Amino acid sequence: MSELKQHDVAFTVNGKAETLSVSPRTSLADALRDTLGLTGTHIGCEHGVCGACTVLLDGKPVRSCLLFAVQAEGAAITTIEGIGDAQSPHPLQRAFNECHGLHCGFCTPGMIVTLSAFLKEHPQPTSADVREAISGNLCMCTGYQNIVRSALRAAELIEGAKP
């Protein structure tokens, strides 16, 4: 069983073209973490409930633990590393810091990736909208309240940055 035929798969990750040779059973999450070293995508349950592994596939949030890497052929993938970093943080990353939207930080990449897509479609959300948007992402530390505040604050920051 360990000698499964390897498959080539080509996609872009955070704007960079990548071609990987993967086993057909390799999940997208494992390919991103193990093959590409993008360890910001976290694995919390491997059955699609917790949302920690959320990445954007052609702009839409998906559970990278439930996709095989080979299914992402030709797609544009965005991981937390492509959202922003300490030098040029995304407004969500700034807002999570300002509003204490994280404790241990393990769910945070999935939360931020999910919310980055959500805020594009809902630039002026209510807190109820935000709760709905993150209802598929589990956080064991914060009780969600400061994540909701962070999302609303990020919406303000994004709005304020518009010309």
Partner 1 sequence: MSVKTTVSDTGPWVGQPLPRREDARLTAGAGTFTDDIRMPGMLHAAFLRSPHAHARIVKINAEKARALKGVHAVITGEDVERLTKPISTIIPFKMFLPNYCLAVDKARYVGEPVAAIAAVDRATAEDAAELIEVEYEPLPAVVDPWEAIEQPPSLVFDEIKSNVIWHDTFSYGEVDDAFARAAHVVSDRFSVQRYISTALETMGVIGKWDSSGLTLWSGDQRPGFATHALTTALQIPHSQIRLVSPDIGGGFGNKRKATYMVIVALLARAADRPVKYLEDRQENLLGLVHASNQVMDLEMALDADGKILGLKLRDVVDEGSNVINPTLHSMLKFTNMLNNYTIPAVRFEGYAVLTNKCHSGANRGIGKPFMCFVIERAVEMAAKKVGIGSLELRRRNFIPASAMPYESPMGNVYDSGDFLATLDTALKTANYDDLLKQQEEARRAGRYFGIGIATAVEPNSLNLSAYTLMTGRTDTSGVGEGALVRMEGDGSVRVSLGNTASGQGYETVVAQIVADELGIHPHRVTVAPGFDSAVNPWLHCSGSFANKFSGTDVGAIIEAARTIRGKILRIAAHLTGRKAEELTIREAAIWVHGANEPLLPLAKVAMTAYRDLLRLPEGEMPGLEARHFYVDPQSNLPAMSKDDKRLRFQLTFSNSAHIAVTEVNPDTGAVKIHRYVIAHDCGREINPMLVEGMVHGATTHGIGGALYEDLIYDKNGQMLAGSFMDYLKPTALDVPEFEVVALETPSPFTPLGAKGVGEGGSIPSLAAITNSVEDALKPLGVTLTELPLTPNKIWDAIQKARGEEKRA
List contacts with partner 1 (CB under 8 A).
Answer: 1-3, 23, 25-26, 33-34, 37-47, 49-50, 52, 79-81, 84-86, 89, 92-93, 96-98, 100, 102-109, 112, 127, 130-132, 134-148
DSSP state of 142: S
Say how far apart CA 79 and CA 52 lie, in whole Å: 11
Report the run of H or E that residue 16 belongs to, with start and end.
strand 16-22
Q: Which is nearer to partner 1, 18 or 98 (CB)?
A: 98
Q: Which is nearer to partner 1, 119 or 137 (CB)?
A: 137
What is each CA distance from 94 to 23, 97, 152, in whole angstroms?
38, 5, 12
Q: Which is nearer to partner 1, 88 or 163 (CB)?
A: 88
In angstroms, what is the minimal distance from the CB of 33 to partner 1?
Answer: 8
10 strand-pairing partners: 19
> Is residue 51 within 8 Å of 135, Cβ to Cβ?
no
Q: Which is nearer to partner 1, 2 or 19 (CB)?
A: 2
> Is residue 48 within 8 Å of 66, Cβ to Cβ?
yes
Q: Which is nearer to partner 1, 72 or 82 (CB)?
A: 82
Query: What are the two backbone dihedrals, phi and then psi, of residue 78, each rounded to the nearest 5 degrees?
Result: -120, 125
In angstroms, what is the minimal distance from the CB of 49 to partner 1?
Answer: 4
